[in-house]
Amino acid sequence: MSRSTWTLTIAVLLAGTAAVGEIYKWVDEKGGVHYGECLPPDCAGVPVDVPPPPSDAAVREAEERLGRLRRHDEQGPKGHAVDERPGSREGGTSPALRPPADPGCLASLSQGWTGQVADVREPVSPRLLSKAERLQLQALLRAMAGRWEGRAEDVRCAGEVTAPSTEVVAGRSRLHARWQTDDLFKIDVDVLWNSGASDRWFYSFQLDADHLRFWKADTDFANESDMQRFDVELVSVGNDGVRFFQRYDQGLRRTRVISLSRTGGDFRLGEFFYLEGQMIGKQSWTFSR
């Protein structure tokens, strides 16, 4: 359970507490500290200030937000476009290539990615690719074309911001990358997790005129309607990689950052998932010839 969920749960529980009278603290003959509403026989208790319970309005707001968080955890978006990570799996861990800029679990979105990804609800602001950026992106994707094998890693975050914990699931993956048309680059990824479960994902990079659009799906499909929902906001484009992000607002602030990078002869495709401004997980695929 996330820190925000725990906080809301505690607030709701406190709201149900009846009005509390004076609370006393005392130390027994063995040095043990005790609290209670009544005094020990020698009346040596010291009054302790107890903060008042939250107001009814604060309780309602907490309950509503907790409900939204629960619905988000229990219900994933349906249909072709996939915005969420695959279901929970069991398995071992394996090392994975990690660029230095990778954020840690529960890291703040606004403090990562060189400050270029804001934690807001507004849709992304796509910009035109420059001629140099378009050529760099085409060269990067062209170098990735072909069949690859590599590692898969799914990281899930939990705990407190000050002491986050991670659940890491590893597996093997195969990738087929190709230009389907002159402006549509497709990446098919097959994953076999250490637990024996498997997944298949289809990534699409569309260079439409001077725009970049991106989508991920669990079926291979072409959807020419409402292409604006696949718009991205660029963070960086270079010879060795591209980074961009998308936003989804279904009652909660959700952001997904996508990073495709090349290091020597290896490629790495990573997705970083943020909920309400905190990173809740990431997936990565690292491939070699």
**Residues 188-231: pLDDT tens digits?**
999 999 999 999 999 999 998 788 999 998 876 555 555 567 89
The neighbouring-strand residues paired with 237 are: 242
pLDDT given for residue 24 in this prediction: 64
Tell me what the mean pLDDT of segment 242-261 comes to.
89
- Please name each of the domains of the chain with its CATH number: 3-70 (no CATH), 91-288 (2.40.128.20)
pLDDT given for residue 118 in this prediction: 87
For residue 38, pLDDT over 70 is answered with no
Residues 101, 112: Cα–Cα separation, whole Å: 8
Tell me what the mean pLDDT of segment 269-284 comes to.
93
Tell me what the mean pLDDT of segment 41-54 comes to.
56
Beta-carbon-side half-sphere exposure of residue 269 (alpha carbons within 13 Å): 27
| Cβ burial, residue 259 (10 Å; 0-12/13-18/19+) | buried
pLDDT given for residue 43 in this prediction: 54
Task: Give the β-pairing of 266-275 and 46-48.
Answer: unpaired
pLDDT digits (tens, 9 = 90+) for 80-131: 333 333 343 443 333 333 344 568 888 898 877 878 888 888 888 888 999 9
Strands (E), the chain: 23-27, 33-36, 46-48, 146-160, 163-181, 184-193, 198-208, 211-217, 233-238, 241-249, 253-263, 266-275, 278-288
Residue 227 DSSP code: G
- What are the structure tokens assigned to 241, written together? 């990689």
For residue 53, pLDDT over 80 is answered with no
Say which range, 44-58, 125-139, 184-198, has the weakest mean pLDDT. Answer: 44-58
Residues 136, 168: Cα–Cα separation, whole Å: 33
- What are the structure tokens assigned to 144, written together? 């990735």
Q: What's the chain's average pLDDT?
A: 76
Residues 12, 15: Cα–Cα separation, whole Å: 5
Contact 160, 1 (CB under 8 A): no
For residue 71, pLDDT over 50 is answered with yes
Contact 65, 168 (CB under 8 A): no
Contacts 24+ apart (CB under 8 A), 76-80: 77/250, 80/217, 80/218, 80/219, 80/221, 80/223
pLDDT given for residue 217 in this prediction: 87
254 or 93: which carries more pLDDT confidence?
A: 254
Contact 100, 114 (CB under 8 A): no
pTM value?
0.64
For residue 134, pLDDT over 50 is answered with yes
pLDDT given for residue 250 in this prediction: 67
Contact 199, 205 (CB under 8 A): no
31 or 29: which carries more pLDDT confidence?
A: 29
pLDDT given for residue 184 in this prediction: 93
Residues 33, 50: Cα–Cα separation, whole Å: 17
For residue 34, pLDDT over 60 is answered with yes
Nearest alpha-carbon partner for 228 in 84, 80, 124? 124
Residues 6+ apart with CB under 8 A from 101: 112, 113
